[in-house]
Structure 1
Amino acid sequence: MEKADFEEVLPKLVNIALFQGFDPSKENDRRILKIVYDNVSIKYYKAGEVIINEGDFGDEFYILSSGRVHISKSTLSGDALALADLDDSMNIFFGETALISNDQRTATVAALSDCRVLVLTRESFDTICENEPVFGYKVLKVLAGRMSNTIRSVNKDKAVLYEALFNEISLSS
C-alpha cells in the first residue's frame, strides 16, 4: 500500500465538505492538512467489494479518491434499498460518524469500480484533534452541521409519513 504524494492528496482533502474550513494557501492550514495527510492510509477495493457493511462497527472514515461506489440500506424486511451511486468527481466521503462514535454503520458502501480510498482512523483523528484544537473545532463544527441537517430531514420525513398515514386512516373510516 503505497502512500500518495501530499500535493496529489491535497486537492482531494480541501474539496471535501469536512475540510471546507481549511485554505491550503494559508501556512497554518496547510501545516494542519499535512498532518492529516501524514495520518491517512490508502486502501484499494476491487469492483464488487464491500467497503462498509451496514450493521458492522468501524472506526474508519473514508474519502473516495478514485472510482465509483454504491450506497444502500436495508429495509425492515431485509431488502436492499439503493440510496445513491457516487463517484470521486463528487468529492465524497463516508463513515464520518466513526470519527466521533462507536455506533454501527448505517449503510453499506460497495465499490462499483476499482476504488482507491483515503482512510483516517478514529485514533488518528483524536490525536490530531488533541494536538491541533483548531482542526478539531473546524471539523466537528462541520460534522455537527451535517448531523443537524440529517436530523431535520428525518424529522420532516417522519412528519410527512405520519400525515400520510393519518390521512389514509381518516379516508378509510
Structure 2
Amino acid sequence: MSEAGTRATLRARAYDLLARDDSGPGARAVRAALVLLIVVSVTAAVVKSVPQIGRAHGNLLDLVLLLTTFGFAIEYGLRIWIAADNPGAAGAARERLRYLFSLPGLVDLIAAIPFALAPHLGLNIDWLDIVPIFKLLRHTAAFQFMVEAVYSERRVLGSAAVLMLALLVFQSSAVYYFEREAQPDKFGSIPEAMWWGIVTLTTVGYGDITPVTPWGKIAGGLTAVMGLCMFAIPVGIIASAFIEAVRRREFVDTWNLVAKVPLFRMLDAARIAAVAGVLRARRAERGERLIRKGDQADAMYFIVSGEVEVDQESAAPKGRLGAGDFFGEIALIAERERTATITALTACRLLVLHKDDFERFMDAHPDLKQAVRDAAQRRLKEINAA
C-alpha cells in the first residue's frame, strides 16, 4: 500500500474512533477516555478555586491541568486531521477550516491552551480552565436534541421572544414612571428599571429592588402574573419539540434496523416504516435467556443496545451479536424450532416483531404478500445451503 493510502486508512480509522457513534467497543472506549479527561480537568479547575486547597496543592492541580490540556491538544490536532473525512466533504482544506471556525472547534481550541500557566505569567485568565466542560456537549445526545428542537421551532420562539421583549419594556417603563420620585436611586431610568422587570417576569424575585408606591405594587403584581404565563409558552414549545426530536431519532434508528433485514430489503421506505411501527420494545437483564434451543419460534429480535451470546449447543463456537444486529427472522416465515439458545451478555434494549403482528401487517398490505413470500423462499434457501 502507498504512503498516501496508509495515511488515508489511518485517518479513516481515527475518524471512526473519534467521530462515529456506532463504531464498536474501540470508539466507546475512546469516548469514555475523553469524557474522563474532561471530568478530571474541570474537577481540578473547580477544586483549585477553593483558597485553602489552592494554596496547599496549587502546583499539583496545575500539573493535572497541564496534562489534561496536553490530551485536549492531541485530540484537537486529530480532529483537524480527520475533518477531511466528514460525510459529504467538499475538500480537505475547506472541511478543516469549517471545523476550526465552528463552535465545537473553538471550544476545542480554548481547551487545548494551557491557561493554568496564566497566573505565573501575570495574566488573570485562568478562569478559562473551566471551558472544557462544554466539550461534554459533544458526547450527549440531549444537547443535540435541544439544538434540533430550538431550530425547528425558531420562528415560533422568535415571535414569543418579541412578545416578551415588548412586555418587558412596557412593564419596566410603567414601574419607572410610578417609582422614579419615591426611589430615584433604584428606578432612576427605564434601563435601570429593566433589571427589576427581568427579575420579576422570570419570577425569580431577588428582593433587592421592590416597588413601594400603590401603583407600583399593582404593576409589579401584574408583571409577576404575566411572567408566569409568558415563560410557560416557550418552555412548552421547546419541551414538545424536544420530545418530537427524540421520537424522530428513535424512528430513524428503528427504520435502519428493519431495513438491514434481508426479508425486508425489497420494501420501499414507507413499507419499512410501517413494519417499524409494529415493533414492541423490550428490555433484557444480564444473563436473561431470550431464546431457548428447541422452542417454537414466534418472533424476531432487533438489538438496539447491548450484546447477546449465541450458543448452538454443539461443537460450533459460541457467537456474539451486538447493537444493530438481529436474529430470529425465520420465525416470521416458517414453522421452525429455535436452532440456538440466545442469552443476554449485558443489559439489552430490544425491539421485537411478533409473528402475529407481522401477519396482521401482511393482511393489511396484501400487495406485498407475494413479494415477501419470494424473499422468504430465497432466505430459507440461503440458510439451508449454509
TM-score (norm 1): 0.69
CA RMSD of aligned residues (A): 2.2
Contact 1:73 1:81 in 2 (8 A): yes
| 2:288 aligned residue (31, 49, 54) | 49
- Equivalent residue in structure 1 for 2:327, among 90, 94, 106: 94
Give 1:145 shift.
2.0
CA distance in 2 between counterparts of 1:8 and 1:137 reads 27
Equivalent residue, structure 2, for 1:112 = 345
Corresponding position: 1:150 with 2:380: no
Q: Which residue pairs with 1:103 in the alignment? A: 336
By how many angstroms is 1:146 displaced?
2.5
8 Å Cα contact 1:65-1:116 kept in structure 2:
yes
Preserved contact between residue 333 and residue 376 of structure 2 (Cα < 8 Å): no
**5+ residue gaps in structure 1?**
23-28, 154-173
- Higher Cα radius of gyration: 2
Q: Is the 1:16–1:92 Cα contact (8 Å) retained in structure 2?
A: no
Secondary structure of 1:119's match? Answer: strand
Paired residues in the alignment total 138
Name the CA distance, whole Å, in 2 between partners of 1:35 and 1:44.
Answer: 22
Q: Deviations over 1:59-85 (max 9, x none)?
A: 11111222211111123xxxx753411
Aligned pair partner of 1:140 in 373, 376, 384: 373
Q: Residues of 2 paired with 1:8 and 1:130: CA distance?
A: 26
What is the CA–CA distance in structure 2 between the aligned matches of 1:152 and 1:96, rounded to whole Å? 17
Cα deviation, 1:62-120, whole Å, max 9, x if unaligned, reads 11222211111123xxxx753411212xx422112221233321111111111111111
More strand by percentage: 1
Whole-angstrom distance in 2 between the partners of 1:70 and 1:30: 31
Alignment partner, residue 255 of structure 2: 10
**Residues 1:138 and 1:126: Cα distance change in structure 2 (over 3 Å):** same
Distance 2:303 2:373 in 1: 20
Q: Is the 8 A contact 1:70 1:82 kept in 2?
A: no
8 A contact 1:70–1:84 mirrored in 2: yes
Q: How many Å apart are 1:143 and its aligned residue?
A: 2.9
Identity of aligned residues (%): 28
Poorly superposed stretches of 4+, deviation over 4 Å: none
Q: Distance in 2 between matches of 1:69 and 1:17?
A: 20
Gaps spanning 5+ residues in structure 2: where? 1-246
Q: CA deviation at 1:134?
A: 4.5
Return the structure number with greater relative CO, CA threshold 8 A, min gap 6: 1
Decide whether the 8 Å contact of 2:262 with 2:379 is kept in 1: no
Structure 1 residues 69 and 129: CA distance shift in structure 2, 3 A: same
CA distance in 2, matches of 1:142, 1:52: 24
CA contact (8 A) 1:32 1:135 kept: no
Cα deviation, residue 16, structure 1:
3.0
Distance (whole Å) between structure 2 residues aligned to residue 42 and residue 146 of structure 1: 25
TM-score, with length taken from structure 2: 0.33
Are the equivalent residues in 1 in contact too, given 2:303–2:322 (CA < 8 A)?
yes
Q: Name the structure where helix makes up a greater proportion of residues.
A: 2
Q: 1:82 to 1:133 in 2, by over 3 A?
A: farther
